[in-house]
Homo-oligomer: A and B are copies of this chain.
Amino acid sequence: MYKSLSLSFMPCKAMLQPRARITRQDSENFVDYRTKVARNPTMERLQRNYLFPEISAREAEHMEKYPNAKVISLGIGDTTQPLPDVVASSMANYAHNLSTRTGYRGYGAEQGCKELRKAIAETFYKDMGIQGKEVFVSDGAQCDISRLQAYVDSSVIIGQTGDVENESGRYRNIEYMKCGPHNSFFPNLSKAARTDIIFFCSPNNPTGHAASREQLERLVGFAQENGSIIVYDSAYAFYITDGSPRSIYEIPGAEKVAIEVSSFSKIAGFTGVRLGWTVVPEQLLYANGFPVINDFNRIVCTCFNGASRIAQAGGLASLSKHGYKAVISLVDYYKENAEILLETFESLGLRTYGGVNAPYLWVHFPGSNSWDVFNEILEKTHIITVPGSGFGPAGKEFIRVTAFGHRENILEASKRLRSLL
């Protein structure tokens, strides 16, 4: 399984590597003044790998070549549909009330407002034993993953990232596991080394694969045997409709081995509003019996001042009876897009993964190089995709396409792709 965390996560990891102390004293020899602070050498390596800027550069090049082309982006997965009225109005009202004496609010609880924490627990973790006090509201999953990362500095990760760092053997204490169609996008745990932390993402980005109940039971069992902590990224869980678990806590015993990180971004169109959450169950304990939640709470209170109160008001509205219905319609809209794209690629005779339980499709071009496929599709159809090799070497025969987009663009993309035949 390709790790969606790889892009957001690896560079942070890199930043935390101890820095070599270069004691060059030659800064006086240069015309420009330089500090004597050594650059983190890990940063130098990171600069070599930067997927989306490279895609942007190629898009710009293409636009120069075809100034009149109507380029359609199925690249970066960003929401496109307007917020439900009830959600936008609730944020607008909250913002307006901040200009009144009774409506003004200063700092909120770092963990998020109680009502929202409770609503998240009741909406997403009903009958799973998760309580509001175990939910920590964040300004988005990416930030919380960075915070977790800061904490689990010496963690070891299961997952195929295929980042440059992997090829260069940079992270010696990280276990990378190759996943793909050959193993149903699930690692061979019998061959996996024991690690403190296991990062896992389902539905997976970029492949769009949602782990089955049986796969997750094996994962939880593996964590229990090894005394590991799973960090489970469920940002796309709301797209699951085939009965696969939407939360790791659907697996009995997960509350003793797993943290779950999620987000309103792809559920409610909050990519620009910024709101997410992390669940740390009270039953999750360190080896010495101390609850992990107590330390996580301390980290949140120390390094974070809470998500914007306006965004939290929007999150709460999106979990109200009305809001929730509207949010489901939004997700359904993108799922219909995914279906259109899936049918399109299959009609071209291509093997496609994902797209059913996730807003991403992972399309196989056997024997080809994904950057070549990217270039060919762009040249012939003016459509931006994401070359799979950007997510790791195992993606070299794949491209990822996103189902986020206005319907007419998805239909137009479908038409252009079909004409490729």
CB of A15 closer than 8 Å to a CB of B: yes
Binary flags per residue of A92-104, CB closer than 8 Å to B gives 1, else 0: 1111111111011
A87 contacts B107, C-beta separation under 8 Å: no
Q: Which A64-93 residues have a C-beta within 8 angstroms of B?
A: 76, 78-85, 87-89, 91-93
A37 in the interface, Cβ–Cβ < 8 Å?
yes
B286 touches A30 (CB 8 A): no
Interface residues of A in 4-54 (CB under 8 A from B): 7-8, 11-12, 15-16, 18-19, 21-22, 24, 27, 30, 32-40, 43-44, 46-47
Please, which residues of chain B bring their CB within 8 A of the CB of A7? 302
Question: Closest Cβ of chain B: how far from A356's Cβ, in Å?
Answer: 23
Partner of A35, one of B8, B287, B298: B287
> A59: which B residues are within 8 A, CB to CB?
none
Q: Which segment of A142-150, A185-193, A343-351, A387-395 sits at the interface?
A: A142-150
**Complex CA distance for A257 and B36, rounded to whole angstroms:** 10
Chain B residues positioned under 8 Å from A103 (CB to CB): 82
| Residues 360-377 (chain A) with a chain B CB within 8 angstroms | none
Contact of A303 with B by CB under 8 A: yes
Contact B15 A153 (CB under 8 A): yes
In the complex the two chains form, is B16's CB within 8 Å of A16's CB?
Answer: yes
Within 8 A of B (CB), among A224-269: 224, 226-229, 253, 256-257, 269
Which residue of B21, B96, B154, B288 contacts A19 across the interface (Cβ within 8 Å)? B154
Cβ contacts under 8 Å, A298 to chain B: 11, 43, 46-47
State the main secondary structure of chain A at its contact with B. loop
Tell me whether A140 and B19 are in contact (CB under 8 A). no
Residue of B nearest to A108 (CB): B272
Using Cβ atoms and an 8 Å threshold, which residues of chain B touch A299? Answer: 11-12, 15
Given contacts A8-B302, A22-B287, A37-B228, contact A85 B104 (CB under 8 A): no
For residue A196, CB closer than 8 A to chain B, the reply is: yes
CB proximity to B under 8 Å, residues A294-314: 294-295, 298-299, 302-311, 314
Number of copies: 2
Closest residue of chain B to A276 (Cβ to Cβ) is B305
CB contact between A140 and one of B223, B227, B271, B305 (< 8 Å): that residue? B305
CA–CA, A399 and B27, complex, Å: 45
Question: Does A81 lie within 8 Å of B104, measured CB to CB?
Answer: yes
Contact A98–B88 (Cβ < 8 Å): yes
A411 within 8 A of B: no
Residue of B nearest to A93 (CB): B92
A106 x B78 contact (CB < 8 A): yes
Q: In the complex, A271→B108 CA distance in Å?
A: 8
Which of B16, B46, B290 meets A150, CB within 8 Å? B16
Which of the residues B79, B287, B302 comes within 8 Å of A27, measured between beta carbons? Answer: B287
Residues of B within 8 A of A287 (CB): 22, 24, 27, 34-39
User: Given the complex, which residues of B lie within 8 Å of A99, measured CB to CB?
Assistant: 82-85, 87-89
- A288: contacting residue among B38, B84, B92, B314, CB under 8 A: B38
Provide 6 A-B residue pairs closer than 8 Å at the C-beta atoms, listed in order of the A residue. A27-B227, A35-B223, A40-B151, A82-B99, A83-B104, A104-B269
Q: Other CB < 8 Å A-B pairs besides A33-B224, A87-B99, 13 of them?
A: A12-B299, A15-B151, A15-B299, A37-B227, A37-B287, A39-B287, A82-B99, A83-B98, A83-B99, A88-B97, A88-B99, A91-B98, A106-B269
Q: Which residues of A are at the interface with B, using a C-beta cutoff of 8 A? A: 7-8, 11-12, 15-16, 18-19, 21-22, 24, 27, 30, 32-40, 43-44, 46-47, 76, 78-85, 87-89, 91-101, 103-108, 139-140, 142-143, 146-147, 150-151, 153-154, 196-197, 223-224, 226-229, 253, 256-257, 269, 271-274, 283-290, 292, 294-295, 298-299, 302-311, 314
4 smallest A-B Cβ distances: which pairs?
A: A36-B227, A88-B99, A91-B95, A78-B106
